[in-house]
A and B are shown apart, each in its own frame.
Chain A
């Protein structure tokens, strides 16, 4: 299976990357943008998708500071 794992900072944790992007957009004329957060996209082919949550918990994300979401991607 081709999978995408989205990793994002947990809600409520200060996200200076998101803030920096949010501040940069109006400078380019893109107004009306809020709640910008920057995370990480990990793409992978896995033989056993059942093991994906464990991979996310143990390595791909740090559950203390990040949430993850597993998305099945088209091959």
Chain B
């Protein structure tokens, strides 16, 4: 599997995302100003502060030249993973439902959280045990997931909520403890926690690898199919 990590001006977790992906497969960096995905099997929009996060987190990055290619890639069923700022960018780009609002505490958060895997029926969670709990860090200012009530009902009914903060561990006021959602086609996934920061025992947890392993398994299936 070949991952591509999009680098915007202001991205800061791009190298960690690349290194995490390299543990699982091949990985290359993609430049925001180029309309070229270099033939990758999966795109990662990493964390950081793309274009300074001016106006709203992700609001300007969604118009970067590379994002047109990412949208086309997603329409064709390609895997797109948005982490933290990447999640915000994908919501602003309408590739994912909802929006990420400032944390209720108005504080920047940086802590390890427990996440409940709500569905393993997705290319991003299929390597998890059903009902698994993952330990992965969050670090963000605007991570409060919001969508109108009826949309939240629909997301839950269709199993698009893939990750929830464990009971009592919702760090930011996200509605219904939502930590990660996918699109209807289940090929675009965004989450606020950082799986790329939980891939080495030295940092206390390797649970983040499950996400990348899931994507590899999906890509391998597609090659065989």
Instruction: Give the residues from 85 to 107 in chain B that come closer than 8 angstroms, CB to CB, to chain A.
Output: 92, 98-99, 101-106
Residue B146 at the chain A interface, CB threshold 8 Å: yes
B91 to chain A, nearest CB (A): 8
A59 to B61, CA, bound (A): 11
Residue B176 at the chain A interface, CB threshold 8 Å: no
Cβ of A20: which chain B residues have Cβ within 8 Å of it? 106
Instruction: Give the residues from 124 to 167 in chain B that come closer than 8 angstroms, CB to CB, to chain A.
Output: 144, 146-148
For B92, the closest partner residue in chain A by CB is: A62
A5 to B63, CA, bound (A): 21
Cβ of B146: which chain A residues have Cβ within 8 Å of it? 13, 64-65
Q: How many residues of A contact B (CB 8 A)?
A: 10
A3 to chain B, nearest CB (A): 16
Residue B2 at the chain A interface, CB threshold 8 Å: no
Knowing A13-B146, A59-B55, A60-B55, say if A65 contacts B102 (CB, 8 Å): no
Residues on B facing A (Cβ under 8 Å): 55-56, 59-60, 63, 92, 98-99, 101-106, 144, 146-148, 173
